[in-house]
Amino acid sequence: MPGQDAGTPRVFLYRHGQTEWSQNGRYTGVTELDLTPTGRKQVSASGKMIVGSGKLIDPANIARVYISPRKRAMQTFDIAFDDSDKQALQGKDKVTQKEERLAEWGYGLYEGLVTKEIRALRKERGLDAERPWDIWRDGCEEGESAQDVTDRLDSLIREIRASHKDNMHGENPSDIVLVAHGHLLRAFTKRWLGYPMEFPLLLMLEPGAVGVLSYQHHNIDEPALLVGYGFPVDEEE
């Protein structure tokens, strides 16, 4: 890993590729959808560029891959990692499939709707008279609240930090890969940084894209968002 942060553990946030509903802006929680052909191409393109030996996500540096239980996330992992890397990781028991803490936000009554439909539905039910619905503050009727999501993500973050605390200078492979969903991974980022869900931190993560979290100064108590990252270089060139 290049630069002064060489060896500092990282968490890679790998969002699944496009589905029919993500293309249309529909909230997709428990509904099982396949990646679209475009979604498969998105993941293949990012995987070829950044996943593999000597690349940004190097299987040799990975401590664990956590995958959401939804089919679209599992398809993303299958496409992003080549067969030999998947076999090596699974052979060393480094892949956690169907990790419920990474399931997308439970949207309840709002499953399959777009934002304007949700706000219209809530208005009909006498809600949000003073301000429009915001999932980060208001959660979802018959689904998950912001606190529900906070609790399960905080549990995962504690687990990840426990694995990182004795590896802040690259003592052992310690990178983590999370293969999951748009809302969920943005929620994870807020909690990684210690912000409540309603904190107005606007984040974007495109289908098939990868974000990176780490720590400042090799310090477990200074979790950080890597706004920009230098790619590995060949020191022999």
List, by residue number, the catalytic residues. Answer: 16, 104
DSSP 19: B
Q: Say which amino acid occupies 154.
A: D
Q: Is the dihedral of CA 201, 183, 55, 219 positive or negative?
A: positive
C-alpha triplet 69, 28, 14: angle, nearest 5°: 55
| DSSP-assigned letter for residue 198 | T
Per the annotation, does 228 bind a ligand? Answer: no
29 annotated binding-site participant:
yes
Q: Determine whether the annotation assigns residue 106 to a binding site.
A: yes
Specify whether the CB–CB gap between 167 and 174 falls below 8 A. yes
> Any known ligand binding at 66?
no
Question: Does 192 appear as a known binding residue?
Answer: no
128 contact partners, CB below 8 Å, separation of at least 6:
119, 122, 138
* Closest to 18 measured CA to CA, from 35, 1, 4, 33: 35
CB-CB contact of 143 with 106 (8 Å): yes
Residue 213 tokens, joined: 């979290």
38 is in an annotated binding site: no
Look at residue 66 and give its three-state secondary structure: strand
Cα–Cα distance, 56 to 232 (Å, whole number): 6
72 is in an annotated binding site: yes
- Which residues belong to the annotated binding site? 28-29, 72, 104-107
- Which residues belong to the annotated binding site for substrate? 28-29, 72, 104-107
